[in-house]
Structure 1
């Protein structure tokens, strides 16, 4: 995928769901993964000509594993003149050593989001851009159906009353395979996920299940996404 195409799909989400208003200060949670790096690149490119003016910054949460290297992310942000803030935490020790969680993803995600939200508020941001793409939205729906007995996935725009922050998901129309292609084409400085549970999660199980379903029934995932858009799920519309 070329940058122009990525920006076009990002802009579609921004406009259709009115994700950005004049004067917004938006932070992007940058993990070092392909998705967040692609989102940062896209929002940076759109910023030059988008009719509504906004500020952009990046926040990375150091999970405390001692093996995360932020040098390449720092260089990446410096090239685009986007300020990067690194939040040091002990999330890794709390989840895996102190709590010894057998299913660590939920607690880890909650703590990461908490650290990100607090830093965003400290910096005066009113919005946080998450790098969830189309596949993430479909996978979350499947996770909810299989493990929670409900029809649910996260919304394109979510307002957090307690924090007075708005979460936006500008990559909602982008397929994961296209993000992978974009990351390879533009040689994004993707860092390996430091989490010991990476690849052994319920989400990975659902990802593989959906891949097989789409292989056996071509177009299955696209039809599921269309169903989400038109299925009266909170926050979505066609």
Structure 2
């Protein structure tokens, strides 16, 4: 790729700045960390790796990057693409081979969405591998829009107010997951991926249907954003500005002990006696 245009340069700087802010705000990467960058071959993980490699050069701390891809033995998977790309970059990498494809096909009825089970199997394998190579952080390519979509999915279909945190300690307690692109929009990532011409590996090799619930939520947010630009960002900011006393979760706030504070000064005027 040649010299960047003014807009391309702004895009690159914006993604790097937002990723740097997210990493700083949540203390995602610390001095001496070994960061396992999970690379799927999609636009998000390519962009994450690209941004992290830049930050590795300019950050005031020292950390290692190891790229890891999981070959799930899907028919037609272009197994040469990622090794060739990573060798050209000079990045240390591992390809983890595990036939989760056969497991998913055996357990999920024909025509049903396989994404959920596939994701769980992949995540478990990667957690184990991160432990094996001594990775202190596992970086995933989820972005701001993913986080907002997950929030609505949980609210609409699971009856819970939770999303996808920028930093998470896994259930096993042995892995810390980070999402450096948490502040970045999918629109910017798509534009950056197109600009960089990453060798994208499609996520439809398994023949699974789209996750229909997620697609419905995504379409809803796209329409909202079209009618009211900035709404997705506003929703994301809301996830960073939670007021437990204004919700209804008794585990987060002690509603049962609320009583009048006799020493409090009245905040409202007695309009009848003015």
TM-score normalised to the size of structure 1? 0.91
Do residues 203 (structure 1) and 214 (structure 2) align?
A: yes
Do residues 29 (structure 1) and 26 (structure 2) align?
A: no
> For 1:56 and 1:172, how far apart are their aligned partners in 2?
19
- How big is each residue's C-alpha offset from its partner over 1:147-177, in whole Å with a ceiling of 9 and x where there is no partner? 0011100111111252511101100110001
Select 1:230's aligned residue among 223, 241, 245. 241
> For 1:210 and 1:112, how far apart are their aligned partners in 2?
28
Match of 1:213 in 2: 224
Q: State the shift of 1:229 in Å.
A: 1.3
| Change in 2 beyond 3 A, CA 1:92/1:201 | farther
- Counterparts of 1:51-130 in structure 2, within 5 Å, are 51-100=60-109, 102-130=112-140
- How big is each residue's C-alpha offset from its partner over 1:78-123, in whole Å with a ceiling of 9 and x where there is no partner? 2322122111122111112344373422211110101111111111
SS at match of 1:61: strand
CA contact (8 A) 1:133 1:174 kept: yes
SS at match of 1:230: coil
Do residues 4 (structure 1) and 25 (structure 2) align?
A: no
> For 1:221 and 1:99, how far apart are their aligned partners in 2?
33
- Greater mean deviation of Cα atoms: 137-146 or 214-223: 214-223
SS at match of 2:240: helix
CA contact (8 A) 1:63 1:90 kept: yes
CA contact (8 A) 1:44 1:80 kept: no
Match of 2:256 in 1: none
Provide structure 2 residue ranges, at least 5 long, that are not aligned to the other structure: 1-7, 245-274
> For 2:182 and 2:126, how far apart are their aligned partners in 1?
20
Do residues 151 (structure 1) and 161 (structure 2) align?
A: yes
CA contact (8 A) 2:113 2:211 kept: no
> For 2:51 and 2:88, how far apart are their aligned partners in 1?
14
Q: How many residues align?
A: 233
Pair member with larger Rg: 2
Q: State the shift of 1:77 in Å.
A: 1.5
- How big is each residue's C-alpha offset from its partner over 1:188-215, in whole Å with a ceiling of 9 and x where there is no partner? 1111112322534321221112112222
The CA RMSD over aligned residues, in Å, is 1.7
CA contact (8 A) 1:120 1:128 kept: yes
Match of 2:149 in 1: 139
Select 1:169's aligned residue among 179, 204, 216. 179
Q: State the shift of 1:25 in Å.
A: 0.4
SS at match of 2:95: strand
CA contact (8 A) 2:115 2:211 kept: no
| Change in 2 beyond 3 A, CA 1:184/1:9 | same
TM-score normalised to the size of structure 2? 0.80
Q: State the shift of 1:219 in Å.
A: 2.2
